[in-house]
């Protein structure tokens, strides 16, 4: 049954305006009842009586049955979504940080109050990856989920590689185009991708992870020497979040730069575009591609969720109910490229099995193996501007101390 939705919208910025642009002129059996904004002095394209700065005008309005939350502040968004779900209102949100940190609680609230929270727009913009993980792969055995989840970082890396720009110039362009914030640390530091990976992992494997437990390192220390090395090897450097099953009950999760080969789907994903690769036992390898940022692409994903609510759609979290015993592990080693300045860095990180080493007055690197647990323990070292780390895509997992390593390639 196609139910009439009366919407209370929080936020009328880039995505909120993009959503309105898509909806206007269409007969979708929905209406915006009220829009909550932060700054009433800004000029708006809609009548003034639609707007308010009082959140309760939306949350306490019994005629509003659907809340669409599109604000930047994760803490405020959490309180909005929590109250809405608890008072019988369905919710659509695009706030990946808020969802990643509170997903397990929000799932429990949906079950308790019979409400629905949808958030396709929170992960990879216009790419319908959450709905596909939830529906198409609901009975599939997934080996791995990875990809390019952050358009800002991918735009910067594309400009470094394809146009020879320096990092600061590429970042400036990204900010001018609205792909990167004034403070770009969430994007270039791998945090945004980590939040999205945590949400994706919940639907791919049924495991609710605190994103603080996922290792992430970004691209902010990249140099032209690193780009030159990648070009000489025929690789590109991409920021790749990865969730991978390494045993019957264990998965690994991390976000870090990776050397991508020409035969990898991600090799040709450029600028602000995102790409998601799913490795399944029976469907094999599949690839999703689309714009990961911008008002209209994200607005389209939000509208898809709104439309689904007209038919009482809910995420069922089937993998969570089926795979209650799935655990996260850090018991792996990764082969990496490490650019460094001081020799003691290699010792502190406990780099092993060094297969390649180069040093000159202004450039030193090694190819070797590092345990993920050591990277986690020494993350502060990796944030030094003289250090840059890239995964080669090869990992090894040791099930027990008595068993030999199992070599795995990251898709």
Tens of pLDDT, residues 78-125: 999 999 999 999 999 999 999 999 999 999 999 999 999 999 999 998
The domain that holds 209 is classified in CATH as 3.30.360.10
Asked if residue 272 and residue 145 are part of one domain, the reply reads yes
Q: Give pLDDT, residue 377.
A: 96
Give the per-residue pLDDT at 401.
47
Bridge partner residues of 397 (DSSP) = 332, 406
Please, what is the average pLDDT of the chain?
Answer: 93
Q: Which of 83, 118, 153 is the last residue of a domain?
A: 118
Catalytically active residues, by annotation: 196
* Per-residue pLDDT tens over the stretch 33-82: 999 999 998 888 899 999 999 999 999 999 999 999 999 999 999 999 99
Q: What is the pLDDT of residues 278-305, one digit of tens each?
A: 999 888 999 999 988 778 889 999 999 9
pLDDT, tens digit (0-9, with 9 covering 90-100), for 226-274: 999 999 999 999 999 999 999 989 999 999 999 999 999 999 999 999 9
The pLDDT assigned to 304 comes to: 95
Chain-centroid distance, C-alpha 185: 14
CA dihedral 229, 232, 236, 242 (to 10 degrees): -60
Phi/psi-derived region of residue 37, left when phi > 0, alpha when psi is between -120 and 50, beta in every other case: beta
Per-residue pLDDT at 368? 98
Q: At which of 258, 289, 320 does a domain end?
A: 289
Domain boundaries, position 92:
5-118
Q: What is the pLDDT of residues 132-169, one digit of tens each?
A: 999 999 888 899 999 999 999 999 999 999 999 999 99
Same domain, 163 and 275: yes
Tell me: do 225 and 159 sit in the same domain.
yes
CA nearest to 137, candidates 323, 410, 409: 323
pLDDT of res. 402: 43
Q: Residue 411's pLDDT is what? A: 58
């Amino acid at each position: 049954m196609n139910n009439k939705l009366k919407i209370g919208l929080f936020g009328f910025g880039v995505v909120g305006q993009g959503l309105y642009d898509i909806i206007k002129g269409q007969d979708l059996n929905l209406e915006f009842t009220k829009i909550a904004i932060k700054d009433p002095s800004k000029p708006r394209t809609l009548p003034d009586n639609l707007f308010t700065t009082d959140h309760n005008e939306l949350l306490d309005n019994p005629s509003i049955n659907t809340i669409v939350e599109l604000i930047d502040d994760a803490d405020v968004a959490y309180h909005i979504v929590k109250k809405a779900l608890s008072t019988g209102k369905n919710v659509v949100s695009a706030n990946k940080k808020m969802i990643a940190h509170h997903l397990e609680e929000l799932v429990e609230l949906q079950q308790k109050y019979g409400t629905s929270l949808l958030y396709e727009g929170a992960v990879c913009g216009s790419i319908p990856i959450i709905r596909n993980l939830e529906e198409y792969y609901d009975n599939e055995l997934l080996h791995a989920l990875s990809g390019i989840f952050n358009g800002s970082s991918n735009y910067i890396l594309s400009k470094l590689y394809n146009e020879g720009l320096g990092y600061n110039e590429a970042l400036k362009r990204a900010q001018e185009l609205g792909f990167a914030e004034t403070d770009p640390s969430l994007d270039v530091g791998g945090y945004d991708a980590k939040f999205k990976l945590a949400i994706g992992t919940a639907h791919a494997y049924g495991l609710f992870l605190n994103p603080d437990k996922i290792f992430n390192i970004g691209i902010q220390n990249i140099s032209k020497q690193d780009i030159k090395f990648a070009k000489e090897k025929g690789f590109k450097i991409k920021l790749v979040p990865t969730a991978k099953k390494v045993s019957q009950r264990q998965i690994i999760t991390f976000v870090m730069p990776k050397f991508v080969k020409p035969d990898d789907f991600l090799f040709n994903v450029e600028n602000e575009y995102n790409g998601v690769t799913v490795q399944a036992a029976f469907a094999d390898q599949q690839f999703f591609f689309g714009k990961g940022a911008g008002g209209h692409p994200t607005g389209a994903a939000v509208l898809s969720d709104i439309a689904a609510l007209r038919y009482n759609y809910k995420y069922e979290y089937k993998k969570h109910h089926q795979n209650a015993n799935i655990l996260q592990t850090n018991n792996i080693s990764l082969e990496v490229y490490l650019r460094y300045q001081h020799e003691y860095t290699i010792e502190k990180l406990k780099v092993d099995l060094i297969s390649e080493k180069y040093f000159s007055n202004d450039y030193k690197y090694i190819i070797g193996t590092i345990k993920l647990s050591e990277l986690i323990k020494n993350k502060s070292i990796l944030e030094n501007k003289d250090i840059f780390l890239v995964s080669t895509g090869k990992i090894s997992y040791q099930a027990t101390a008595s068993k030999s390593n199992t070599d795995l390639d990251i898709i």
